[in-house]
Amino acid sequence: MTPDNASFTTAAYTLAAIIYLAYVLSLKLRLRRLRARAIALETSARPRSDRPEGA
Amino acid sequence: MTDIAVPTPPGMLAAAWLVARKDLAIEFRTRTAFLSALVFALLGVTIFYFAWDATAVAAADLAPGVLWVIFTFAGLLGLQRSFGSELADRAVDGLLGAPISRESIYLGKAFANLVFVAGILFVTIPAVVLFYNLPMGSGIAALAGIAALAAVGLVAVGTLFSAMAVNTRMAELLLPMLSLPFFVPVVMAAAQSSARLMAGRPVAEAMPWLRILVAFDIVFVTACTLAFPFTLDE
Amino acid sequence: MTSGQPSVAPPLPSQRDPLVGVALLGIAAIYVRALAFTPIEARQGAAQKIMYIHATSAFIALYVAFVLMALTSALYLWLKDEKLDRVAESSAEVGLCFTTVVLATGPIWGKTIWGAWWTWDARLTATLFLWFIILAYLLLRGAVEERGRRARYSAVLGILASFLVPFIHLSVYLFRTLHPMPILLKPSAPSLPNEMLVTFLLSFAAFTLLFIALLRSRYRLATLRDWVADREAERA
């Protein structure tokens, strides 16, 4: 008699999906924040690029 | 100009002994850390007794587990202080400036920690025998031997992680977090082999566990000695 | 990337990198195939399908993520190349994610097959310890601020951890053989029907792709973070 445990299967598959997606989201968010900081740094540095080094 | 006698730096083991002696001398002068760890161990042994239903589980069956749990945490307490003393006034620079190999520093500190832990065990094991009504006999000698092997493993790993943890912001939390996973095979092997020996089982039953314990000691004393120089900022 | 030049472009990952998306689609495809197009195993029922996710994630967590972390740690101590440290860090974090999935799905499967949410069998215990070790690795990295020291400390832990895993495995195995445990059914029988085998292999490919995609993403995050930290330190 094949046991009826489809609900467990659904639970496990859902849980796995949530964990992986949560991680992907965390990466996206962290990347976005860093990107913003990097761009801010780059734009505030650019005006100096016209000056000769050491000035 | 080569007639000037230049004293040769001590060899690795001799240097390690010097480092160990220095640490032990400092520790012995105040004894606070040792006594605190000792009190902690004894109190722990007592509290564990009351944490179980003495009618459901015989005290003698409980004893090995209690012993090794207390051993682990008292050992951690001892390890916490291992590198703390060098933080003050950057005394570690003095140690690094000495003409001794980095490995001897590690071995010296590990040995000092070993003496510390052995001291605690020296009191804790008789306390467990007493409070948990363990049958005395040749089992105690075997127990002491297992304790010695377990202490070596614990101290080898703990000394290395103590060197790393002391440089971080959360040293007291980090040391247990890093060390406890490594303590598991030690505690498991020590508890399993000592439980069997104390229950009067033949030594052959405890042998696989003892082999694990010895293998762990050899692997990790070597690995940690080699890894230690990487934990220094030079 | 030499420092000292005022307007070096930051290593921004291109907005249009599709690899993670493709990998996720691959996983979705596996979900469909496993749930709708693979037969149910007679003895274990539908719950056996959990293995398509659990076993593959476990394999990748231990044999890909952890091994990569240990290898790059050793190589870092030898070659001192920061890139190796970033790969180690990324592999650890992605590995932690995969291990979490293993630990989350394992007990669900175990409940149906063994009747118990948890047993201390060698594999599950070793996985639990892997989780603790990787977590300790990441917490250590979080606690050390100076980059060179952080890399060295993590590398030492990574290498020692790789020595520890066989000991855990051996200890727990010995523990189990001497303590009779509830009978457990082997999750993957030696001769699988073709459709199940194909699903396993496809699943393995999909999760490997996911690992690579996440690793690459995390690596770029680390590179960008270090770049930003360098620039901000220059300003200070």
Domain count, chain B: 1
- Of the candidates C134, C162, C127, C125, the one whose C-alpha atom is nearest the C-alpha of residue B188 is C125
Handedness of CA C205, C207, C210, C215 (dihedral sign): negative
Task: Please state the φ and ψ torsions of residue A42, each to the nearest 5 degrees.
Answer: -65, -40
Identify the contact set of chain C against chain B, taking CB-CB distances under 8 A.
77, 129, 132-133, 135-136, 139-140, 143-144, 149, 152-153, 155-157, 159-161, 163-164, 167-168, 170-172, 174-175, 178
Report yes or no: B76 and B175 within 8 Å, Cβ to Cβ: yes
Burial class from Cβ neighbours inside 10 Å (0-12, 13-18, 19+) for residue C137 reads buried
Instruction: Measure the CA–CA gap between A11 and C50, rounded to whole angstroms.
Output: 9
pLDDT band at B227 (very low <50, low <70, confident <90, very high): very high
The C-alpha of B231 sits at a distance from chain C's nearest C-alpha, in angstroms, of 6
pLDDT tens digits for C129-166?
A: 999 999 999 999 999 988 999 999 999 999 999 999 88
Minimum mean pLDDT range among B104-113, B168-177, C15-24: C15-24
Contacts of C125 (CB under 8 A, 6+ apart): C168, C172
ipTM of predicted assembly, 2 dp? 0.86
Burial class (CB in 10 A: 0-12, 13-18, 19+), A47: exposed
Mind listing the pLDDT tens digit for each residue in C17-64?
Answer: 789 989 999 999 988 888 888 888 777 788 888 889 999 999 999 999
**pLDDT at B211 > cutoff 50:** yes
Inside any domain, residue B7: no
Closest CA to B156 of B218, B102, B205, B212: B218
Distance CA C34, CA B58 (A): 51
- Whether residue B37 is contained in a domain is answered as yes
> Closest Cα partner for C145 from C205, C52, C56, C229?
C229
Given this model, what pLDDT does residue C190 score?
52
Residues of chain B contacting residue C174, judged by C-beta atoms under 8 Å apart: 192, 208-209, 212
Contact of C159 with B197, CB cutoff 8 Å: no
Which of B60-64, B87-91, C43-47, C213-217 has maximum average pLDDT? Answer: C213-217
On whether the CB atoms of residues C125 and C173 are closer than 8 A, the answer is no
- The pLDDT of residue B90 is 58
Q: Which residues contact A19 (CB under 8 A, 6 or more apart)?
A: C97, C100, C101, C104
Instruction: Decide if A45 and C7 are in contact by the 8 Å CB cutoff.
Output: yes
Q: Which two tokens stand for residue C160?
A: 């020692």
Report the alpha-carbon distance of residue C55 to residue C59 in Å, rounded.
Answer: 6
Contacts of A15 (CB under 8 A, 6+ apart): C101, C104, C105, C108
- Categorise residue B200: left if φ over 0, alpha if ψ from -120 to 50, beta otherwise: left
Q: What does the pLDDT average to over A30-46?
A: 86
Residue B62 included in any domain? yes
Q: How far is C7 from chain A (nearest CA, A)?
A: 6
Q: How far is CA C38 from CA A17, C111, C227, in A?
A: 19, 22, 47
Domain-embedded: residue B186: yes
Per the structure, the complete domain to which residue B134 belongs is given by: 12-231
Q: Cα–Cα distance between C10 and C12 in angstroms, integer?
A: 5
Q: Is residue B5 a part of any domain in this protein? A: no
**Higher local confidence (pLDDT), C127 or A54:** C127
Would you state the pLDDT for residue C99?
A: 96
Q: What is the DSSP letter of C41?
A: B
B contact chains, 3+ CB pairs < 8 A: C
Is residue B152 assigned to a domain?
yes
**Mean pLDDT to the nearest integer, A40-45:** 82
Residue B90 forms part of a structural domain: yes
Q: Is residue B128 part of a domain?
A: yes
Indicate the residue of A5, A34, A53 with minimum beta-carbon distance to C47.
Answer: A5
Q: For residue B84, name the pLDDT band (cuts at 50, 70, 90).
A: low
Q: How far apart are CA A15 and CA A8, in angstroms?
A: 10
Residues in chain C within 8 Å Cβ distance of B233: 149
- Only one residue has tokens 């005290």, namely B59
